[in-house]
Amino acid sequence: MPTSLPFHLVGVSHHTADVGVREQLAPTSEQIADWLDRERRAERSLVVLATCNRLELYWWGDDDQEAGLQALARSQGLLLDGRTVYRRDGLPAVRHLFLVAAGLDSQVLGEYEILGQMRRAHERARAAGTTTWELDDAFAAALAVGRQARHETTLGRHPGSLGSAAVAQAAICCGGSLTGRNVLVVGAGEVADGVLRALEAHACGSVMVLNRTPERAEALVSSRGAEAAGWDSLPESLAQADVVVAATKAPHPILEAPLLAEILESRNRRPLLVFDLALPRNVDPAARDVPGVRLFDLDDLRLEHGPAGSGISPATEEAEAIIRDAVGRFRRGLRIREAAPHLAELHQFGERLAEEETGRALAALESLSEAERDVVRQMAERIVRRLLYPASQKIRESL
């Protein structure tokens, strides 16, 4: 698509693909590193934003990264069509990036984790050498928009997250309250931290955090009033839990259906609520068929707590206004930066012209003293400045 602004994105998200497709597309950290290295060697720009809700590629220039997304899909046996893949070019791509940063394109309205994910994606690309100054400016502006939207609207008053959505749904399933319920959190990353934040408003019986790296679990619970346990205590912790939230970066399920069936037998089939907030999924989808297990994955939470049914609110309208202003400022900033070399050339031309005309005048006025010659030089320089600087300012204001 032709555009005067060569900023582009192509992606797949929770809007266009279910969790099964997103799971197959989810690249590992090593795959992203290899991908960025290939693009650097080919002298192409790229930022890869990979979260549980989206895989989006952003780039600046005339290259086309959509082929890379399709190649990844084919390697997983997927054929992505126009209903699954979306693309934005030019200012619509900038607007989409800002919407994502503000949490208006998230599964949970106002989601705050996306800001950290965007920042890390940009830093990774920059460290790999696959950004341009325009991409750097776009992501810096997006992060600023995200912070502004949360600070200046009610989006930031009660920041949303996958963790808070899971906790809210768990409370609903438990009759409106988690009082006295035992909660097991498997994982110790950003999503797990969001779960613990949301649980602070509930008088749970106990909150236990398990992680394969015990030090990370200990660090997470130190300020959250929870407990940490070793990975080998998983079966025992599952047997005692009423609610389980799984949010690890494991590339395969860590809670298999047979394990959960065995656990349910040991507790006389006392019901177990399980929330899978990971991509790839941490919980075997077959667990839905285990009697006593009620499983919610990312798609289930989107249906229950996604922003689609919430309509337009004052907060979203205010955030949209912030984004419109920011898109305009970003475009104007690019134009000013693009015009800067030409304006510098104009001023240099004016300085040369003043110097040449001063030389001609002084050659014809040989009787002038040195002080008088300085007056002529200064007069010529002032005339050039008074002509060019207002003109430059008008040009900048018109961009």
Domain boundary pick from 257, 277, 307? 307
Find tokens 């930066």 and name the residue.
Answer: 337
Q: What is the percent of the chain with per-residue pLDDT over 90, rounded to a whole number?
A: 69
CATH code of residue 39: 3.30.460.30
Query: Who's near 257: CB < 8 A, 6+ residues apart?
Result: 284, 286, 287, 289, 290
- Residues 147 and 216 grouped into a single domain: no
Full domain range(s) for residue 201:
162-307
Is 52 catalytic? The answer is: yes
> Domain boundary at 278, 307, 336, which?
307
243 and 167 within one domain:
yes
Report the pLDDT averaged over residues 367-379: 87
CA distance 152 to 125: 30
219 token code pair: 């660090």
Question: Tens of pLDDT along 280-335?
Answer: 999 999 999 999 999 999 999 988 776 644 455 778 899 999 999 999 999 888 87
Residue pair 226/196 in contact (Cβ under 8 Å)? The answer is yes
| Euclidean distance between CA atoms 303 and 300, whole angstroms | 5
Domain final position from 101, 136, 159: 159
Give me the mean pLDDT over the 237-250 stretch: 96
Strand order in the sheet with 293-296: 227-229, 206-210, 182-186, 243-246, 272-276, 293-296
- For the domain that residue 252 is a member of, what is the CATH number? 3.40.50.720
Low-confidence winner among 3-7, 69-73, 387-391 (lowest mean pLDDT): 387-391
State whether 171 and 301 are in the same domain.
yes
pLDDT in tens, 245-274: 999 999 999 999 999 999 999 988 899 999
Within-domain flag for 355: no
For residues 396 and 358, what is the distance between their CA atoms, to the nearest angstrom? Answer: 29
Residue of 57, 30, 54 whose CA lies nearest to 45? 57
Task: Write down the catalytic residue from 52, 173, 174, 204.
Answer: 52
Structure tokens given for 101? 């940063």
Residue 295 is given by DSSP the state E
The number of CA neighbours under 13 Å toward the Cβ of 204 is 26
Question: 222 and 88, same structural domain?
Answer: no
Q: Is 126 exposed, middle or buried (0-12, 13-18, 19+ CB in 10 A)?
A: middle
Do 166 and 287 reside in the same domain of the chain? yes
Whether the CB-CB separation of 55 and 49 falls below 8 Å is answered with yes
